[in-house]
Every structure is written in C-alpha cells, then in structure tokens.
Structure 1
C-alpha cells in the first residue's frame, strides 16, 4: 500500500505548496491562470507526445478497456441526465461536470498506483489512452463549440479537436507508438523537459485556486457536488467490477486492476479545462478535492477485498 500513500502524499504536498504561495501572496489569481495556460498549451501536449510514444497502444483492445468504458458511460450518463433535466445546466457546465464524474487521474496518480499496488504500470494504459484519444477530444470539441456559441457545421465540429494542442500531442504520441519511430534526441529532450512541467503546473494552479477561490461547495450546488463525487468514487468502480466480473468473467489480479483504475480520483487536468473555458470551475475543483481524499480509503478497501 506504500505506493498508494506515496502517490497521494506527493500530490497533496504540491497542491499545498500552491495554496501556501497564494496564502503568502507570492502569487495571485493571475498566476493561477498563467500556470493553467502553460499546462494546457505547452507542457501537457509535450507530455502526451513523450508518454504515449512509449506506450503499447495494443493494450487498448482488452477486457480492461471494455469494463472501463462501461464505468465511464454509466457515471457520465447519470450526471448528464441530471444536469440537463433537473439542474438545467448549460452545455459547457454539463461537459465539465460529466468529466468530473468519470475522468480518472490515470497519469500522475494512476501510474504510481499501477506500478506499486498492481505491480505493472501497463494496467493503466488502456484507461489513459481511452481518455486521451476519445473522451478528451470529444469533450474539448464540445467545449470549443460552446465557447464559440454553437452553430458549428458537423465537419468543423469533427475537425475541431485537431486544433487543440492536447489532442494533437496525443495523436502524435500514438503515431510514434504504432510506427515504432523515435524522435531525434534534439527534439525529444526538450519535449521531455517541457512535459515535466505539466503535472506541477496543474497541481500548483489547483492549490492557488483552493486558497483564493470560494470555500468548498459555497459557489455551487451541494447536491451536484455530492453527485459527481459519488459517481466517481462509487458508481464508476462498481459498474466496472460488475461488467468485468459478471459479463466478461475476469478474475483475480486482473479484476483488481480494472476496479482500482476505475476508482482513481478525478484528474487535475479537468480543472485546467474548466479554467481554460470558464465552465463549472468550482464544481471541478471541489470534486477533485473530495475524490482525491476519498479515493484513498476506497482504493485501500478494494485492494484488501480483491487483492
């Protein structure tokens, strides 16, 4: 369990640094915007190129992917239905809320959890690629369209993700993985260095927002926050377990890997997207905080029950 604890402590410390910097007035809300923009436009695309370039994309075609997709569809679908029919949220806010309910922290937390708890970082690869190549491009296309006021022809909507730096970085990484090509050192080394900025920038910006933003739940619906957190921590892993175990017949360590991956907390980059498009920022921030804290006992319990 040391890997789980170490991963969560590391994230918490870096977030705490951002909150402390804001508390001491070394940085302000403007700095948070700058850090988020650097992460979105520069560091994260570089990280995607180098990370996916080394991944085995064939792992996407697995039982892990099928169960993970089921968990995502059910959790996000429930939120979308409630957001549109009950809370009457606009399209952009609904998109961020759906991501908060189902988009897991498969990168900076999922990788150490997969390595130290599950014994192999490859277990998180299907979820990581699903999110980067399907969920994120679709969500960003919707957010881009919403920011433009809608009315976009279908072909422009389809091509819109290709104008997003994160999507382009992900696709370039997949091309490198599929073809086996390697970047020249003079190109790869700067990308690796820039990619190292991604996670710290996200976490520090998140810490600044925690300190300078409104208190937990004060700027949004408490019921909505409870819904996104419950969907992420409980509904998504339970659905993944049912599909993997009952439908697909997965057992043992492979089943543990699927369920633990689905129980990971909401990814910090959802807050970056919310900030970038100014949609449901507080909901994303609070869901990330609650699920990051709540996932610790959930994952420990799952490791004990299924391990």
Structure 2
C-alpha cells in the first residue's frame, strides 16, 4: 500500500497543482482546454505511436486479458442499461450516457499517467483505447443518433450515425494506434530522430493531461451538497462495482493472475471518460450530470487506486 501510494503521489501532486493554480487564479481555468488539446491531439498520440512501434504486439494484445476486460465491460453495460431503464426510468439517450459514464474509462488523461507510474508502461491501455472507441463508443453514438441525435433537418439518421462513427474512428488517439501497430507489424524503418521526437513529446503527455484535468476541476468546483441519487449510483458503479466485476470475471472466469489481473482491475478502476461531458453537450442530454460524474469519479478514483492496487494483487 505504501509503495503504491508513493508511486501515485506524482499523479496527486500534478493534479492538485492544477486545482490550486485555477482556484488561486494563477492560471485561468479556461486554459485547461489548451492543455487538453495539446495532450489529446499531439502528446498522447505521440506516446502511443512511439510505444506501439517499439513494443511486442504479443505482449500488448494479450487475448485473455482483453477478453476478460471486454466481458466485464459488456456485462456492466447490460446492468447499467437495465437499472437506468427499469429503475430510474431514463430516456434512451440518458441510458446511453449512463452506460458511457459507468463502463468506459478516462484512458488519455488519467489511465496512461497512472499506468506509467505504477507499471512503468502504459501498453496495457492500448487495447482498451481501441475497444472503447471502435466498439463501446460506436454503440453509444448509434443509440444517441437513433434516439434523435442532432437537430439537423433533412439529414437521415443513418447518415448521422455514419458521421458519428467516422468521427470516433478518426480521432488522433485511434489514428496513432493504427499507425503504430501497422509500422510495428510491417517492420517499417523509422529514423532514430523521429523516435526521439515521439519520445520527447510523449514524455509531456502525462503531466499535461493531469494538469489540464486539475485546472478544469479547480475552475468548475466540486458540488457535494445536492448530489442526486442518480449521481451516487453511477459514481459507486464506476469506482467500486465495475472494478469488482472486472476482478471477478478476470480471476474466476478467465483465470487471470499476477500483473495481468492487476492491470485489468486497475483499468476498470479509472474514472469516467473526459469526453462524456462532450457527448452530453453534443446530444443535449443531462449536461450537468455528465460534468458532475466526470469530476467526482476522478477524485474518487484517485483516492481508491491504492486500495484497488492492493486488492488486485
């Protein structure tokens, strides 16, 4: 536990620095968008591209670990959908938003920095990025668009679905994964200076992403009073039940042990994805709920990560 806390201390400090800088008006919280854009569109793709090119695909794409995580994610999506529709009675778009908040994780701004610090390598995140964007996000987009989507008169739903899926599959993160895997498998020669550039840019990914998240939190503040029961069950599922589900599926269904089991559980313990708020705005669906869940799962996950690291071992 002490070792894990020591490894996670930089995450808390950089994240906390962003909060303090925003709260004290040293840096305006709106600048978080600039840090986020730098991380999302350049630094993190550079890290992914360089790491995938130099990694062993057989070690990164472990079919058993990927199968365990995918099974847990699908099971979680079913549970959340049933609760949202049968218990809370939310709309179709609201159900899709809750599925995304409870069963997808913040890979770019949270998981990558944490995995680099805990395991010295974020390669286990790569398959999850592809799974989320190519499968889970596509499901959410399809549900959102089929339920009404954008208010664009004269545009068929099928066209809007295709546009949404295309936008998801062509994000910088996914394109970097495609390029890194292709270059690795084809043994494409890459100059040393290019790899050094990717490494240098990638080194800035973790601190920039965490600082941006802290700036955003410092600017928006944290509302504890008035937290709805809807928020509580989503936060509880994302930060407690989903990691437990991943632990049970990984250990007792797929027989994972050791570091692979730890990685599957730790991925599931990451907070709700940052783009949850973007989707809520884009589809005009419970924006306040999305913003609150992103912020509160980020703080809750940060506090629980040392515990999950010990349990997963």
**Alpha-carbon separation, structure 2, partners of 1:217 and 1:152:** 40
Q: Contact 2:266–2:305 (CA<8 Å) still a contact in 1?
A: no
Q: What SS is found at the alignment partner of 1:69?
A: helix
Cα distance, 1:107–1:290 mapped onto 2, change above 3 Å = same
Q: 2:306 aligns with which of 296, 299, 305?
A: 296
Partner in structure 2 of residue 72 of structure 1: 73
Q: 1:237 aligns with which of 219, 238, 243?
A: 243
**Alpha-carbon separation, structure 2, partners of 1:95 and 1:52:** 31
Q: What SS is found at the alignment partner of 2:177?
A: helix
CA offset digits 1:177-211 (Å, max 9, x no partner): 32333422332322222222322222112111222
Report the CA distance between 1:285 and its aligned residue.
Answer: 1.7
Answering whether residue 232 of structure 2 is matched by residue 223 of structure 1, we say: no
Report the CA distance between 1:20 and its aligned residue.
Answer: 1.5
TM-score of the aligned structures, taking structure 2 as reference length: 0.76
Partner in structure 2 of residue 203 of structure 1: 210
Q: 1:185 aligns with which of 187, 192, 200?
A: 192
Q: What SS is found at the alignment partner of 2:113?
A: coil
Question: How many residue pairs get matched?
Answer: 290
Cα distance, 1:301–1:157 mapped onto 2, change above 3 Å = closer
**Alpha-carbon separation, structure 1, partners of 2:33 and 2:254:** 44
CA offset digits 1:33-86 (Å, max 9, x no partner): 221222222222222211222232224243222211122222233334444563
Q: How does 1:13-162 map to 2 (within 5 A)?
A: 13-59=13-59, 60-83=61-84, 86=88, 88=90, 91=93, 94-95=96-97, 98-103=100-105, 105-114=110-119, 121=121, 125-126=123-124, 128-138=125-135, 151-153=157-159, 155-162=162-169
Report the CA distance between 1:96 and its aligned residue.
Answer: 7.1
Name the stretch that deviates more: 45-54 or 146-155.
146-155
Answering whether residue 266 of structure 2 is matched by residue 261 of structure 1, we say: yes
Q: Contact 2:102–2:242 (CA<8 Å) still a contact in 1?
A: no
Cα distance, 1:138–1:253 mapped onto 2, change above 3 Å = closer
Q: Contact 1:102–1:236 (CA<8 Å) still a contact in 2?
A: no
The CA RMSD measured in Å over matched residues stands at: 3.3
**Alpha-carbon separation, structure 1, partners of 2:98 and 2:55:** 27
Q: How does 1:263-282 map to 2 (within 5 A)?
A: 264-266=269-271, 270-271=273-274, 273-274=275-276, 276-277=278-279, 278=281, 280-282=290-292
Report the CA distance between 1:157 and its aligned residue.
Answer: 4.9
Q: Contact 1:137–1:161 (CA<8 Å) still a contact in 2?
A: yes
Cα distance, 1:82–1:54 mapped onto 2, change above 3 Å = farther
Report the CA distance between 1:261 and its aligned residue.
Answer: 3.2
TM-score of the aligned structures, taking structure 1 as reference length: 0.78
Report the CA distance between 1:93 and its aligned residue.
Answer: 8.4
CA offset digits 1:126-165 (Å, max 9, x no partner): 4x13222121244555569868558343654554334321
Partner in structure 2 of residue 118 of structure 1: none
**Alpha-carbon separation, structure 2, partners of 1:168 and 1:102:** 19
**Alpha-carbon separation, structure 2, partners of 1:218 and 1:191:** 44
Report the CA distance between 1:241 and its aligned residue.
Answer: 3.3
Q: Contact 1:17–1:204 (CA<8 Å) still a contact in 2?
A: yes
Q: Contact 1:100–1:287 (CA<8 Å) still a contact in 2?
A: no
**Structure 2 stretches lacking a partner, 5+ long:** 282-286
Partner in structure 2 of residue 4 of structure 1: 4
**Alpha-carbon separation, structure 2, partners of 1:184 and 1:163:** 25
Q: Contact 1:236–1:262 (CA<8 Å) still a contact in 2?
A: no
Report the CA distance between 1:262 and its aligned residue.
Answer: 4.7
